[in-house]
Structure 1
Amino acid sequence: MWKQMWRTWTIDKPAALGEWLWQILVVELAALLDRLTLRKVVALIPVVIVIAAYLHRIPISPEVMLLGDVLAYIDIFSVILLLSLFSRAATVLAAVKQTVDQIGAALHRLAIALRRGDGRHRRTTGGGPRKQPAREKNEDEDVAIVPGLAWV
Structure 2
Amino acid sequence: MKQWWRRWTYEVPLAIGDALWELLVVQLAALLDRLTVRKIVATIPVAIIVLAYYHRIPIPPELMLVGDFLAYIDIFSALFLLGVLSRVTTILFVVRQTAARIALLVGSTVAHVRRLDVRHRRQRGAPARPRRKPVRSEDDRAYGSVWDQVALA
Report the TM-score, using the length of structure 2 for normalisation. Answer: 0.51
Output aligned runs, 1:2-151, within 5 Å: 2-55=1-54, 56-61=56-61, 63-85=62-84, 89=87
1:97-134 deviations in Å (ceiling 9; x for gaps)? xxxxxxxxxxxxxxxxxxxxxxxxxxxxxxxxxxxxxx
CA distance in 2, matches of 1:65, 1:86: 31
Which structure has the larger Rg?
2
Distance verdict in 2 for CA 1:59–1:37, change over 3 Å: closer
Task: Decide whether the 8 Å contact of 1:45 with 1:68 is kept in 2.
Answer: yes
The DSSP-based 3-state class of the residue aligned with 2:39 is: helix
**Structure 1: gaps spanning 5 or more residues:** 97-152
Task: Decide whether the 8 Å contact of 1:46 with 1:71 is kept in 2.
Answer: yes
Task: Decide whether the 8 Å contact of 2:44 with 2:70 is kept in 1.
Answer: yes
1:85 Cα offset (Å): 4.9
CA distance in 1, matches of 2:69, 2:39: 14
CA distance in 1, matches of 2:33, 2:84: 33
Letter in 2 for 1:64: L
Superposition RMSD in Å:
2.7
Greater helix content: 2
CA distance in 2, matches of 1:25, 1:12: 20
Letter in 2 for 1:45: I
CA distance in 1, matches of 2:67, 2:59: 14
1:2-29 deviations in Å (ceiling 9; x for gaps)? 0000000110001100000000000000
Distance verdict in 2 for CA 1:35–1:86, change over 3 Å: closer
Structure ranking higher on relative contact order (CA contacts 8 Å, 6+ apart): 1
Task: Decide whether the 8 Å contact of 1:53 with 1:59 is kept in 2.
Answer: yes
Task: Decide whether the 8 Å contact of 2:51 with 2:59 is kept in 1.
Answer: no
Letter in 1 for 2:57: R
Report the TM-score, using the length of structure 1 for normalisation. Answer: 0.51
CA distance in 1, matches of 2:82, 2:63: 25
